[in-house]
Amino acid sequence: EAQVTQNPRYLITVTGKKLTVTCSQNMNHEYMSWYRQDPGLGLRQIYYSMNVEVTDKGDVPEGYKVSRKEKRNFPLILESPSPNQTSLYFCASSLRAPTSGGNYNEQFFGPGTRLTVL
């Protein structure tokens, strides 16, 4: 089954304790992206990756890191989490960038990771 998986689905942690949220897709997609969803703010892009070893900042990258060593995986790293990073996080992937080639490249979203930083 074609899907985007995220782990963990729920995480409660404390300020300053490094954590990684994994994202994996099995569709051989080039493009992957991380969003955070907050009430009243919608989805905001954190980082995206156009392909292996190519990553770039989105709109709210502060406090986050990513890596893209393999095509299928795009982990989100919080080196020193803070309470303002409490949020719902979504990973997404698509064959290419969302509107590459003038067409819509369907975005497949993961199930979300609810993170609470105390």
Partner 1 sequence: AQSVSQHNHHVILSEAASLELGCNYSYGGTVNLFWYVQYPGQHLQLLLKYFSGDPLVKGIKGFEAEFIKSKFSFNLRKPSVQWSDTAEYFCAVNARGATNKLIFGTGTLLAVQP
In the complex, which residues of this chain contact partner 1 (CB under 8 A)? 4, 31, 35, 40-45, 48, 50, 56, 58, 90, 92, 96-104, 106-107, 109-112
Q: Which is nearer to partner 1, 31 or 81 (CB)?
A: 31
DSSP state at residue 101? G
Shortest Cβ distance from residue 41 to partner 1 (Å)?
A: 6
Q: What is the closest distance, in whole angstroms, from the C-beta atom of residue 43 to partner 1 in the complex?
A: 4
Q: How many CA within 13 A on the CB side of residue 73?
A: 10
| Cα–Cα distance for residue pair 110/106, rounded to 1 Å | 13
Q: Minimal distance in Å, beta carbon 17 to partner 1?
A: 27
Number of H helices, E strands in the chain: 0, 11
Q: Which amino acid is at 67?
A: S
Residue 53 or 56 with smaller CB distance to partner 1: 56
